[in-house]
Amino acid sequence: MDILSEALASMRTAHPSSVRTEGRAPWAMRLPPVLGAGFHVVLYGTCWLLPAPGAGFAPVALSPGDVVFLRDGGGHVLADHPDSPPVDALSCPVDAGLPIGTVSVGTRGIGGLEGGGGARASLLCGNYHLDQGRPHPMVGQLPALIHLETRHGRHPQLAAAVQLLGAELENPRIGSTGIVPALIDALLLYILRAWIEDQPAASAAGWAAALRDAAVAPALSAIHESPAVPWTVESLAGRAGLSRAAFARRFTSMVGEPPMSYLTRWRMTTAARLLRESEAPLTAVAAQTGYGSEYAFAKAFKREFGQAPGGYRREARTAA
C-alpha cells in the first residue's frame, strides 16, 4: 500500500489549478492566500519568493529547476528583486492558450509597471486543492516551505518532471492539454518523496521516519490497505515484530497519535471519501470501514464530522 499516495488522495477536493508566469525585470507579483497548498516551479531565469509576515520562513532566492511547496498556501510575493514594488496577481491579465494560461508581469503597460526590458523569468505557479480543514497528519507535519533544487544531479526524477513540464509549456504540441495537468498532479508526489528522502535516517522524525521504519511502516500499510479488519494494538504489534507496549510507544512517537486513534481516523477518512466519490449505500460504506452496522457507523461518523453520513454526502455533492 502506497501510504503517501493514499494520504494525499484522501485530502484532494479538486484537480490542481495552475498558471504560467512570465516576468521581465523589474517585476513583482503579490499572490493571495489559496485554499490548499501552493507551489512554484522555476522553468527559466531567477527570482525571489518573499513571504508574508509570520509565514514561518525567510525570503528564498530561486534558480532554474527549483521547486517550492507552500504547505498552507499562504500569501506571498514573487519578484525579480526584493526591492521591486509588487502588483496584485489579480490585476495581471491572463492570456489563454495551450496548454495553460499565461500571466505576464513587468512588461510595459501591464500591472502598472513601466520598463520590463530586463532579464526574463518563467515559472509555473499554482495550488493543490487539499482539504486543510481536516488535513492528514503527515501533511500537518511538513515544514511551512519545502525548497528543492534539481540542479547538479539532485532529485533526478523531480528534475525530469520539471524538464518535461518546461518542454510542454515552451512548445505545446498534440496532447499537451492532457499531459501538463497529469505532470502537475504527479509533481506533488515527487516533491514530497524528495523531501522525505532528503531527511537523514539518523535524525528523521515524525512521518518522515514512520514511512521508512521497519516496525511502523508495515502497521500503517496494514491499516491503509484493510481498514475494515478488526485491528488491535496486539495484532498490529505482531506485524511489526514488537511487544504491544514497545510498538504503541514507537507508533505514537512517529505518527503523532496512538495506533487505535489513527485507525479510527483512517476509517473515517476512507468513509468520507467513499461518500463523496461513490454511490455505495451506507451499509456498504460501514462494512468497508470496519463497522458491523449502519447505526454504529453513523454514530461514529457523526461524532467525527458533526453531521450524519447522508447529510455529509448531500453537502459534498452540492459543493462539487
Q: Over pLDDT 70: what percentage of the chain?
A: 90
Helix axes 259-277, 309-319, angle to 10 degrees: 50
Cα separation, 98 vs 249, whole angstroms: 52
Q: Which domains does the chain have, with CATH numbers?
A: 3-198 (2.60.120.280), 209-319 (1.10.10.60)
Which cell numbers in the block locate residue 111? 500591472
User: Quick one: pLDDT at residue 109?
Assistant: 37
pLDDT band at 59 (very low <50, low <70, confident <90, very high): very high
pLDDT band at 202 (very low <50, low <70, confident <90, very high): low
Residue 95 in this model has a pLDDT that exceeds 70: no
Return the DSSP state at 190.
Answer: H
**Angle made by CA atoms 271, 277, 278, in degrees to the nearest 5:** 80
Residue 98 in this model has a pLDDT that exceeds 70: no
Mean pLDDT to the nearest integer, 66-90: 91
Cα separation, 264 vs 291, whole angstroms: 11
For the stretch 112-171, pLDDT in tens is 334 467 899 999 998 898 887 778 888 888 899 999 999 888 899 999 999 998 888 888
Residue 91 in this model has a pLDDT that exceeds 80: no
Per-residue burial over 134-146, b if 16 or more Cβ lie within 10 Å, else e, is ebbebbebbeebb
Cα 225 → chain centroid? 21
Full DSSP string of 132-153: TTS--HHHHTS-SEEEE---TT
Cβ neighbours, 10 Å, residue 216: 24
Residue with cell 493514499: 6
Average pLDDT, the chain: 87
Name the burial class of residue 318, with classes exposed (0-12), middle (13-18) and buried (19+) by CB atoms within 10 angstroms of its CB.
exposed
At 104, the amino acid letter reads S
User: Quick one: pLDDT at residue 108?
Assistant: 43
Q: Which residues is 77 bridged to in the sheet? A: 30, 50
Strand locations in 17-74 (E): 17-24, 28-31, 37-44, 47-51, 60-62, 67-70
For the stretch 4-58, pLDDT in tens is 898 888 888 778 888 888 888 999 999 988 888 999 999 999 999 999 988 889 9
User: Quick one: pLDDT at residue 101?
Assistant: 62
* pTM of the model as a whole: 0.84
Cα separation, 183 vs 168, whole angstroms: 10
User: Quick one: pLDDT at residue 112?
Assistant: 36
Spatial neighbors of 19 by CB under 8 A, at least 6 apart, are 94, 100, 101, 102, 103, 124, 125, 126
ω into residue 82 within 30 of 0, thus cis? no
Q: Over pLDDT 90: what percentage of the chain?
A: 54
